[in-house]
């Protein structure tokens, strides 16, 4: 058995964000930076279970060394492709890994900025002592942008109502407000549509309170394999993004110092749609959307629990809700304290696997809210309190193996992104320094 040091989340650093920037236009090197002091509405979030609170054995172990390794990998790819900025995406609680601890690790490892989806996520990082610039990318009603502007974060805008709200906020704050402008090049989700871009640019140019320090778009098919019908769509989006750049430059909305960014993990690793900055998400956590580079990345999350019950059942006896599994032979069934409320998907009922003593064992019956059952008939010497690995690697008395997020996703008819982000807040995160 390989042992590693297990530590709880590092203590929070004192909250002391970057000094307020009074310059009219932030420099390219600090393209994410924004003025403003954290004031106004206090945002409350559900508290994540802490290691000290853990009474059951179910937990997620986060390998901090793997995070640093993955940052080096994506930074190398970005540098080779000509990007000057790497802004890891830490939305959805850092893809389920615990955003504050992840951000502290990556900031110390050299990350110069981060992207999040929600203002609440940005506030959580600021309260955790993160000083790096933060870009808030999620969609909000225009009325929310005054609150966003008062925080030490940079908002993403895509309609004139948001601009008007930012103008009022800038006047109240007494300085210009930077923002990134999002253009819809084919995702059809958020962003100024290409047909409306010229009119948007003309209207935007009439104000002086908001400056565009970044231009972005979102790629829809960056992970499509070469030869797939969707593979050419990224090139179309890049072409539209270049067209948008020309329109906005001609209107005086952006200039040569505006940082452009489009590449997600898949595009970055493929070397496509790489501009001044890149926004790697899932690759930072060790999952590659591209099979060709999966070996470069190290999985950062390991989810484990222990057997809390063992029982023998006879042929024909059922297991779990709905009697979805019936034993065909005499069997040994182990109960583990992890269910769909913890992130073990119900879709893994009679389909997923776990590791016990280094050997694979099938999940049998319906995964319930707090527990699941595993057939350990073929696991020699199995006993109460034996470790069970749901996600990640295990080296045991009967061998060694690993269950990846991609495997879990295939078994449950999902994607690796959902597997990682579904590990709920009631599962404590333990941070490892191997």
Which sequence positions are flagged as catalytic? 91, 321
What angle is formed at CA 53 by the lines to CA 49 and CA 54, rounded to 5 degrees?
90
| Rounded Cα–Cα distance for residues 416 and 316 (Å) | 35
CA dihedral 273, 276, 279, 285 (to 10 degrees): 100
| Rounded Cα–Cα distance for residues 332 and 373 (Å) | 10
CA 381, chain centre distance (Å):
39
Task: Return the closest-CA partner of residue 262 out of 166, 181, 159.
Answer: 181
Rg (CA), the chain: 24
In this structure, the strands spanning 359-364 and 353-356 are: antiparallel
| Rounded Cα–Cα distance for residues 429 and 59 (Å) | 6
| Rounded Cα–Cα distance for residues 241 and 256 (Å) | 15
Token pair recorded at residue 391: 């996600």
Token pair recorded at residue 87: 């802004």
Encode burial over 181-205: b for 16+ CB neighbours within 10 A, e otherwise. Answer: bbbbbbeeebbbebeebeebbeebe
The total of other beta-carbon atoms located within 10 Å of residue 19's CB is 9
Distance between first and last Cα of the chain: 14
Q: Please list the residues that pair with 364 across neighbouring strands.
A: 373
Token pair recorded at residue 389: 């690995």
The total of other beta-carbon atoms located within 10 Å of residue 246's CB is 9
Token pair recorded at residue 56: 């059951």
Q: Are 106 and 10 in contact (CB under 8 A)?
A: no
């Amino acid at each position: 058995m390989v042992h590693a040091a297990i530590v709880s989340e590092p203590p929070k650093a004192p909250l002391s964000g970057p000094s307020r920037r009074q310059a009219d236009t932030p420099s390219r090197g600090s393209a994410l930076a924004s003025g403003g002091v954290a004031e106004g509405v206090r945002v409350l979030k559900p508290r994540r279970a802490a290691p000290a609170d853990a009474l059951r054995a179910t937990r997620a172990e986060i390998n901090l060394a793997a995070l640093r390794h993955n940052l080096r990998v994506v930074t190398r790819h970005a540098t080779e492709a000509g990007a000057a900025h790497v802004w890891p995406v830490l939305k959805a609680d850092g893809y389920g890994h615990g955003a504050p601890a992840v951000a502290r690790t990556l900031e110390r490892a050299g990350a110069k900025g981060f992207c999040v989806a929600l203002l609440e996520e940005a506030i959580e990082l600021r309260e955790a002592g993160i000083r790096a610039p933060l870009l808030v990318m999620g969609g909000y009603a225009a009325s929310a942008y005054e609150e966003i502007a008062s925080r030490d974060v940079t908002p993403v805008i895509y309609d004139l109502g948001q601009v008007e709200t930012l103008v009022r906020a800038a006047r109240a704050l007494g300085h210009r407000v930077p923002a990134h402008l999002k253009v819809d090049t084919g995702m059809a989700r958020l962003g100024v549509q290409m047909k409306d871009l010229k009119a948007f640019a003309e209207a935007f140019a009439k104000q002086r309170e908001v400056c565009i320090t970044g231009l972005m778009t979102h790629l829809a098919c960056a992970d499509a394999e070469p030869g797939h019908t969707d593979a050419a769509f990224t090139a179309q989006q890049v072409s539209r993004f270049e067209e948008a750049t020309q329109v906005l430059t001609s209107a005086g909305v952006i200039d040569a110092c505006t940082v452009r960014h489009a590449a997600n993990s898949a595009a970055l690793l493929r070397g496509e749609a790489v501009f001044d900055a890149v926004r790697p998400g899932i690759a930072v956590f060790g999952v590659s959307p591209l099979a060709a580079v999966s070996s470069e990345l190290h999985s950062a999350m390991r989810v484990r629990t222990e057997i809390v019950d063992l029982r023998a059942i006879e042929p024909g006896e059922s297991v779990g809700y709905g009697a979805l599994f019936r034993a065909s032979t005499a069997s040994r069934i182990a109960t583990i304290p992890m269910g769909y409320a913890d992130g073990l998907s119900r879709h893994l009922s009679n389909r997923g696997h776990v590791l016990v003593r280094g050997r694979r064992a099938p999940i049998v019956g319906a995964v319930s809210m707090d527990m699941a059952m595993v057939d350990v008939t073929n696991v020699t010497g199995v006993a109460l309190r034996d470790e069970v690995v749901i996600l990640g690697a295990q080296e045991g008395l009967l061998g060694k193996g690993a269950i990846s997020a991609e495997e879990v996703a295939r078994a449950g008819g999902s994607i690796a992104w959902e597997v990682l982000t579904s590990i709920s807040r009631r599962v404590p995160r333990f941070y490892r320094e191997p």
